[in-house]
């Protein structure tokens, strides 16, 4: 088991009312991992919402690259508290600059008309797949040195990518990807923590799905890839202690940008969350 605890990433230091500080994890990328600010911003917004209200959606923009070696300060603005809904705006700050904005909405649970047309896609049984960590360790010489040094920070989320080996090849493929994921260690029962953890994990392998039809490898040194915006909707209770299937599809890319949509299912086939993301995909000179 990893000594790095996923829950610790969402432990916030309260500076004053509506202002929180959180530590950063260096995952070995060029900049702070976007999933970190997604999860921590949602966790900070939860600090200002009355008990019983649950996040049902958030919309966010990444403004500047974050520094993974520095903590992040979250400034939460109370936009509205109504009879059923609450809205919060969260600003992530490093070195006095706004690096990220999120608007999150919370609702008191209530009964209503229910349907689900989304069908859980067929995917290999999770127990037949190698974990991404084991794949990285088996291909240690193929991954960048910063990522090698940061593998311990990738362990808290057990991710198992279907057809993982092709992620490092330059072959053209359909713009779809499936991954199984769950927390390696129990997160307890607080819905706020499970949603923050899922928001964090929702950024893994997401935008790179747009590269697949172009035959561009993540290892290509000319590639510059970065998230521009990320939205997420929670449709029902999230249990990140259990395996969830993340089905991703990229319907379009152009103008050095790609867009990806995702659906997250539990093992009973229930759609528990949906995601959308647009990001930069730019090829530069050596």
Question: Annotated catalytic sites, by residue?
Answer: 203, 227, 277
Q: Measured on CA atoms in the order 66, 70, 71, 77, is the torsion positive or negative? A: negative
What is the Cα–Cα distance from 86 to 3, expressed in whole angstroms?
A: 36
- CA distances to 60, 63, 127, 158, 251 from 256, rounded to whole Å, are 20, 17, 37, 31, 14
What is the Cα–Cα distance from 181 to 178, expressed in whole angstroms?
A: 10
Residue with tokens 């759609």: 271
- Which residues in 52-65 are b (16+ Cβ under 10 Å) and which e? ebbbbbbebebeee
Contact present, 185 and 8 (Cβ < 8 Å): no
- CA distances to 80, 140, 189, 231, 276 from 279, rounded to whole Å, are 30, 27, 33, 12, 10
What is the Cα–Cα distance from 52 to 68, expressed in whole angstroms?
A: 33
Q: For residue 130, count other CB atoms closer than 10 A to its CB.
A: 13
What is the Cα–Cα distance from 259 to 253, expressed in whole angstroms?
A: 6
**Of 15, 134, 18, the residue nearest 71 (C-alpha):** 15
């Amino acid at each position: 088991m990893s000594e790095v605890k996923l829950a610790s990433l969402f432990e916030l230091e309260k500076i004053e009312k509506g202002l929180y500080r959180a530590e950063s994890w260096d995952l070995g990328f060029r900049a702070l991992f976007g999933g970190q600010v997604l999860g921590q911003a949602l966790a900070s917004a939860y600090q200002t919402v009355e008990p019983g209200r649950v996040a049902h959606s958030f919309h966010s923009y990444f403004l500047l690259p974050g520094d993974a070696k520095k903590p992040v300060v979250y400034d939460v603005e109370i936009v509205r508290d109504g009879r059923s809904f609450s809205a919060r705006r969260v600003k992530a700050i490093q070195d006095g600059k706004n690096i990220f904005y999120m608007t999150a909405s919370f609702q008191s649970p209530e009964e209503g008309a229910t349907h689900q047309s989304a069908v859980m896609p067929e995917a290999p049984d999770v127990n037949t797949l190698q974990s991404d960590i084991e794949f990285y360790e088996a291909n240690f010489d193929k991954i960048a040195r910063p990522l090698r040094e940061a593998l311990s920070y990738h362990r808290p989320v057990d991710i198992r990518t279907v057809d993982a080996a092709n992620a490092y090849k330059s072959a053209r493929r359909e713009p779809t990807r499936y991954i199984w994921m769950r927390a390696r260690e129990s997160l307890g029962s607080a819905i706020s923590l499970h949603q923050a953890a899922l928001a964090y994990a929702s950024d893994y392998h997401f935008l790179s799905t747009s590269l697949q039809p172009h035959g561009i490898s993540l290892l290509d040194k000319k590639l510059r890839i970065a998230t521009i915006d990320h939205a997420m909707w929670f449709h029902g209770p999230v249990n990140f202690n259990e395996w969830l299937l993340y089905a991703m599809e990229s319907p379009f890319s152009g103008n050095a940008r790609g867009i990806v949509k995702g659906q997250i299912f539990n093992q009973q086939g229930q759609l528990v969350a949906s995601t959308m993301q647009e990001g930069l995909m730019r090829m530069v000179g050596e």
